Amino acid sequence: MSVILEGKQVTKAFGGVKAVNNVDFDLQKGEILGLIGPNGAGKTTLLNCISGTFPLTTGEIIFNGKKTSDLKTFEIARLGIGRTFQVVRPFEGMTIRENVTIGAYFGKTRALNSNPKQASELVDRILEKVKLADQKNKLTTELTIAYRKRLELARALAMEPEVLLLDEVMAGLNAKEIETTMEIVQDINKEGITVVMIEHVMKAIMGICHRIMVLRWGEKIALGTPEEIVNNELVIQAYLGERYTAYQKGRVS
C-alpha cells in the first residue's frame, strides 16, 4: 500500500478561530477512510482544504507526490480529486445527463472525453453504476433527495478521480437507501478509487471503512482501524457513546 494523499500540519484559520488545527494525516491508495467527529470539528473544512476551495493558513497537502495546497480549485480537480457537497449543489435546470457530462468534460480524463460520443459512453457507464440510468433525462428539479445525492456522486465520478471526497453523502437517506449507497461506494472503491468519507451514519462508517480518522475541535484525536477507534478512550468520550461501542464490540470481532 502506498500513500496517495497526505496532509502535513494542515491548519486553516478564520480570523482567530482555527477550524482545522495542525492535522497530520495520510491516505493509503485504495482505502476507504472515514472522517468523523462532532459537528463543528472541522471535517468539511478539511475537505475544503484538500479540494482547494479554501487556501491553507499553514501546512501542506501533497497528492501523488505533488504539493497541491498552492494550486487553484480547478487545477486540483483536474489532477484527480473529486468531491461532493454536504448540501448538494447540482446544476439546477440541467438534466441529470448534462450534469454528469460536465464532470466528464472537465475532470482528470477530459482530453479523452472531449467529444460528445466518448463522454457519452463514460456518462452512461457511471449512471448505470450509481443506479440512475433510468432517470437520466430528468431535470434535477424533479429528483428526490436520495437521487440528488447520487447525482452529486455520479458527477464527481465522471471526473474519473483517483481520490473521491464524500461529504455526508448518506445524510437524509432511509435505511434502504443507505444500504444501496454503501454498496455503490464499495463498488467504486473496488475499481481502484480511494475514498474519504465524512459521515455521521455509524453503520456506514463501521461497515465499509478500512480506517477512520476522528477530529474534534479542529484537531485530530485518532486515526486507525474501526476496531482501534471503537476502543479508543478519547474517541469514546468525544463522540461514540458507550452503548454503541458495546454493540460494535459484539459485531466487529
Partner 1 sequence: MINVLKETKLMDRKWSISIVLPFIFLLTFVLLPLTIQGYWLRVLTSVFMYAIMAQSVNIIAGYSGYPALGNIVFFGTGAYVTAMAMTHWHFPFFLALLIAGLACAFYAFIIGLPVLRLRGRYFLMATIALTEATRQVVTNLEITGGGKGLTLPVFQGTPQVIYSFFYYLMFGILVACIITTFLLARSRVGYALKAIRYDEDAASVMGINAVIYKVLAWVISAFFTGLAGSVFAYWMTFIEPVVVYEIVTSVKMYLMFVFGGAGTLWGPILGAFFIEIISELVWSNFMELHYLVLGTIIILVVLFMPKGLMDLLKRIVEKLKFKKLQNRRW
Report the nearest approach of partner 1 to the CB of residue 232 (Å). 33
Considering only residues 34, 59, 103, 226, which one is a binding residue for partner 1 as defined by CB under 8 A? Answer: 103
Distances (CA, A) of 41 to 38, 61, 87, 234, 238: 6, 19, 17, 14, 11
Q: Is 69 in the site for partner 1 (CB under 8 A)?
A: no
Residues in CB range of 125: below 8 A, 6 or more apart? none
Residue (28 or 53) nearer to partner 1, CB: 53
| C-alpha cell at position 88 | 448538494
Residue 81: CB minimum distance to partner 1, A: 9
What is the footprint of partner 1 within residues 40-59 (CB under 8 A)? 51, 53
Give the number of residues in contact with partner 1, rule: CB under 8 A: 28
Stretch that binds partner 1, among 27-35, 68-76, 169-177, 201-209 (CB under 8 A): 68-76
| Helix axes of 116-129 and 145-157: crossing angle, nearest 10 degrees | 130
What is the x/- site pattern for partner 1, positions 80-99, by CB under 8 A?
---x-x---xxxxxx---x-
Q: How far is residue 62 CA from its own chain's centroid?
A: 17
Compare residues 1 and 111 and give the one whose CB is closer to partner 1.
Answer: 111
Q: Which distant-in-sequence residues (6+ apart) come within 8 Å of 38 by Cβ?
A: 216, 238, 239
Helix then strand count (H, E) for the chain reads: 10, 10
Q: What angle do CA 158, 163, 167 make, to 5 degrees?
A: 85
Q: Counting contacts by CB under 8 A, is residue 5 touching partner 1?
A: no
DSSP-based three-state secondary structure for 182: helix
Question: Site for partner 1 (CB under 8 A): which residue of 3, 13, 71, 102?
Answer: 102
* Residue among 20 and 81 whose Cβ is closer to partner 1: 81
CB of 36 to partner 1, least distance (A): 23
Residue 192 cell numbers, joined: 481502484
Residues that bind partner 1 (CB under 8 A): 51, 53, 72-75, 77-78, 83, 85, 89-94, 98, 101-103, 105-108, 110, 114, 155, 159
